Structure 1
Amino acid sequence: MSQGTSTTSVDLMIHARWIIPVVPENTVLSDCSLVIDNGQILAIHPTTEAKRLYSADHEHHLDEHIVTPGLVNTHNHAAMSLLRGFADDHPLQTWLEEHIWPTEAQWVTPEFVRDGTELSAAEMIRSGTTTFADMYFFPEETAKAALNSGMRCQLHFPVLDFPTAWGQGPDDYIQKGLALSDAYRSHPTINVAFGPHAPYTVSDEPLQRIATLAEEMQAPIQIHLHETAAEVSDAVANTGERPIERLNRLGLLSPLTQCVHMTQVTAEDIEVLKQTGANIIHCPESNLKLASGFCPVKALLDNGINVALGTDGAASNNDQDLFGEMRTAALLAKGVSGDASAVDAHTALRMATLNGAKALGMDAEIGSLEVGKQADITAIAVNQLEQLPLYNPVSALSYNNISHQVSHVWVNGNPLMEDRRLTTLDEHRVREKAKYWQNRIES
């Protein structure tokens, strides 16, 4: 208790017009406050009661704001922000084989990854994301950039059959990844997981080894899966198995697994996903831009399968805006299913928060605003003409153009942005580094 008063001293209080905690479901709290101490949510009270019970070192009065859990971007190649707009308007295989992979072979270095990840981190913070999952080369540099930004990060170290700038083959990738995992063991904001790139780039033996190691370590696995119709048809022609069947046979599918894209899904595939408990990472805007197909989100959710959201890298999306992905995911689900009630506003927000935390194995810590969870929080101002009138704050988040209205972001109760000003990253430096790489690559 603070001396001379009947109030409890805490680190931070956030007083908000609306709080959408995600848990309990479909809940909107009005004129309430989050009480935060030692990086955790200590209490949620009506503001008048919170002010009576607590005194805080720092207080924010967000009287025209919506406060939500920090958004969780479950699939990214953050360093590829430096290739934003570099190779637009190509099909996936052409985009990869004729543009992205040759460019990466020439330019990807530790410096490239560090600078590109900081650019992505700045963009993600400015659009409300507090946690991101990443799969890219030199993940040790991604970790450094994430630490510098203050964001929470799950690193999926890449594994492929062929050499790249980061490794010579599967054994080398796995050895380096395990060393990175040891380096960040029990770290509060960085954890390391397996990232076999895709069924068509990783052979059986490494996949089986990853399945065994992941189970032993209880470490997540993220893999691109059923991204295009050609991927599936080629696999069937060559092996007689759909890729998901092969992964299941090899023991790779479990609640630890994050299946990215899944635009080609049959009823049989849904049964496999239900039986194994694997998670789906839906990247609607990247899939649309590359004409990869449509993930049947409504059918997956109706079958109890966890579906989370990712932006994919900026080279195949052009932005890292998870609020934009929420809107696209909701609209696309309605169009694909023919059901206007599919993926309602609350569901879209849950996909971008708690479902994402669950896919990453972090739902005990983040993804909702609950007492005892980490204080990863996003605040959005809704006082501009484009947001008015405001009848339903959850609808505003899911259907309005909202990301540029994000005003404050916290991770573990630490501010990453206040009143649109980045507090952990030097915006001028990030901008200059982006221009430096543009000039190098263009030349």
Structure 2
Amino acid sequence: MPTQVDTLLHARWVIPVDLERSILEHHSVAINQGKIIAIMPSDQAKQTYQGHQELELDNHALMPGLINAHGHAAMSLFRGLADDLPLMTWLEKHIWPAEGQWVSPDFVRDGTRLAIAEMLQSGTTCFSDMYFYPDVCAEVASEHKVRAQVCCPILDFPTPWASNAEEGIHKAIEVHADFRHNPLINIAFGPHAPYTVSDEPLKKIASYREELQIPVQMHVHETAFEVTEAEKNGPRPIARLEQLGLLGPDFQAVHVTQVNDEDRKILAKYQVNVVHCPESNLKLASGFCPVHELQQAGINVALGTDGAASNNDLDMFGEMQNAAQLAKAVSGNAAALPAYEAIAMATINGARALGIDDVTGSLEIGKAADIIALDLDQLTALPVYNPVSQLVYTRMADKVQHVWVNGEQLVKDKQLTQFDTDQLKQKAREWGAKILAGERND
């Protein structure tokens, strides 16, 4: 008799994102108690297993859920608030004033829910967030059963969450203690950037990072202006972070658009993870991350969307496409970052950057069943010569039909199972009206 399992998925293609970069045709994935217990040809799977839920996905590709390795989820409520501006003008004249006026626990709660819903519907099952009230973000992610790394923001100056860097570090340690046993949530230090955090707080973060085994995520070398200003009074930011003892395999450097040979050597030496945010970098004219050069140096490069205020969406399939095409243009090499490697950036590389590659990021026996199913029987995806090519070079977010996290289905036939979408829309409209009225009153 076949063995009973919770879920059995029979797919036209399975893209496991394994070391061999396999494409498995007419294969099935068996899921039990939240984990993948088998991946095998469908004919064999039907003889071996019987699922309480069993789906015939004849025109679908199964792949690992996407990992958005950097973002600011609650900023979805600032989507489109200030466009077509350089980074520092955007921050200093628009975003920071808006945050000072509007950010609160309720703002973060509602904005994070909106972001998680958007990410799930477009295939993201794990996200890294750096924003105020990280405890609220972690609560919302846990409530809606998605995987998250929550980075506690640390800045020298007062923010809606902390009065200074010292308080930010203290509160980060408290949040870490509160969520340390939550299987879906990891807490990280989130010093904002080298130009907003001074040496002493960074030294303390380095010490606590080692003592408590807490990773660190930071915006680093985001713009040429940032690097030029740093060099006026001292070393380049990456060299400064090395001197302060902050770099290591648990350090996640976000953006990294300005890199010279010495920077690249330091990143490789300390096995630093880079998180590439191509669409945000393009929109803010921040520069181009040299992905091909970094990968050639053995540096792990993951993908993120950044916040919806500077993107303006949280579509990781769009990031894959832009990352692949930019890598070719920047390197002058059409073979740079082939399609399967772009998928790896959005899955297993992201898991590695977040330190959870033993749990998720690929479809392997024993890993969590974080899986998405995409319907490729659509006009914009046909004909299918190579499903990996379609997943990267054609827009795919609207083709996500099913999503599972830990074996639990969170999107079914494109519909969210954990959210009241009408309520989400109403909350977003209410915040938009308040923020717009506030801006007009100013």
2:230 matched to 1:235?
Answer: yes
SS at match of 2:310: coil
Distance in 1 (alpha carbons) for counterparts of 2:424 and 2:175: 25
Distance in 2 (alpha carbons) for counterparts of 1:229 and 1:24: 36
Instruction: Name the structure 2 match of 1:332.
Output: 326
Distance in 2 (alpha carbons) for counterparts of 1:25 and 1:325: 23
Q: Where in structure 2 are the equivalents of 1:259-278 lying within 5 Å?
A: 259-278=253-272
1:148·1:424 contact (CA, 8 Å) conserved in 2? no
1:122·1:149 contact (CA, 8 Å) conserved in 2? no
Q: Which amino acid aligns with 2:311?
A: N
Question: Which of 193, 199, 219 is matched with 2:214 structurally?
Answer: 219
Question: Which of 230, 234, 238 is matched with 1:244 structurally?
Answer: 238
2:151 matched to 1:156?
Answer: yes
Q: Which amino acid aligns with 1:36?
A: I
SS at match of 1:311: coil
SS at match of 2:54: strand
Deviation at 1:391, TM superposition (A): 0.2
Deviates more, 1:111-120 or 1:50-59: 50-59
Q: Where in structure 2 are the equivalents of 1:333-372 lying within 5 Å?
A: 333-372=327-366
2:71 matched to 1:73?
Answer: no
For structure 2, which runs of at least 5 residues remain unmatched after alignment? 438-442
Distance in 2 (alpha carbons) for counterparts of 1:13 and 1:178: 41
CA RMSD of aligned residues (A): 0.7
Q: Which amino acid aligns with 2:253?
A: C
2:104 matched to 1:109?
Answer: yes
Distance in 2 (alpha carbons) for counterparts of 1:34 and 1:304: 32
2:346 matched to 1:316?
Answer: no
Deviation at 1:309, TM superposition (A): 0.1
1:105·1:165 contact (CA, 8 Å) conserved in 2? yes
Deviates more, 1:421-430 or 1:228-237: 421-430
Question: Which of 375, 379, 400 is matched with 1:381 structurally?
Answer: 375
Instruction: Name the structure 2 match of 1:413.
Output: 407
Deviation at 1:186, TM superposition (A): 2.3
Deviation at 1:56, TM superposition (A): 1.2
Instruction: Name the structure 1 match of 2:250.
Output: 256
Deviation at 1:25, TM superposition (A): 2.8
Deviation at 1:24, TM superposition (A): 3.3
Distance in 1 (alpha carbons) for counterparts of 2:65 and 2:396: 14
2:82 matched to 1:87?
Answer: yes
Deviation at 1:59, TM superposition (A): 1.0
TM-score (norm 1): 0.98
Distance in 2 (alpha carbons) for counterparts of 1:144 and 1:429: 19
Work out the number of aligned pairs and report it: 437
Q: Which amino acid aligns with 1:65?
A: H
Deviates more, 1:56-65 or 1:348-357: 56-65
Distance in 1 (alpha carbons) for counterparts of 2:401 and 2:211: 42
Instruction: Name the structure 1 match of 2:42.
Output: 47
SS at match of 2:336: coil
Distance in 2 (alpha carbons) for counterparts of 1:437 and 1:148: 22
Instruction: Name the structure 1 match of 2:122.
Output: 127
Instruction: Name the structure 1 match of 2:164.
Output: 169
Q: Which amino acid aligns with 1:288?
A: L
Deviation at 1:246, TM superposition (A): 0.3
1:210·1:252 contact (CA, 8 Å) conserved in 2? yes
1:148·1:425 contact (CA, 8 Å) conserved in 2? no
Question: Which of 184, 196, 199 is matched with 2:191 structurally?
Answer: 196
Distance in 1 (alpha carbons) for counterparts of 2:424 and 2:138: 17
Instruction: Name the structure 1 match of 2:440.
Output: none
Percent pairwise identity: 56
2:434 matched to 1:440?
Answer: yes
Instruction: Name the structure 1 match of 2:286.
Output: 292
Deviation at 1:26, TM superposition (A): 2.1
1:225·1:259 contact (CA, 8 Å) conserved in 2? yes
1:409·1:417 contact (CA, 8 Å) conserved in 2? yes
Instruction: Name the structure 2 match of 1:3.
Output: none
SS at match of 1:157: strand
Deviation at 1:187, TM superposition (A): 1.1
Q: Which amino acid aligns with 1:199?
A: P
1:328-377, Cα deviation, whole Å (9 max, x unpaired): 00000000000000000000000000000000000000000000000000
Question: Which of 291, 299, 304 is matched with 1:305 structurally?
Answer: 299
Instruction: Name the structure 2 match of 1:178.
Output: 173
Deviates more, 1:55-64 or 1:294-303: 55-64
Distance in 1 (alpha carbons) for counterparts of 2:21 and 2:40: 18
Q: Which amino acid aligns with 1:51?
A: K
For structure 1, which runs of at least 5 residues remain unmatched after alignment? 1-5
TM-score (norm 2): 0.98
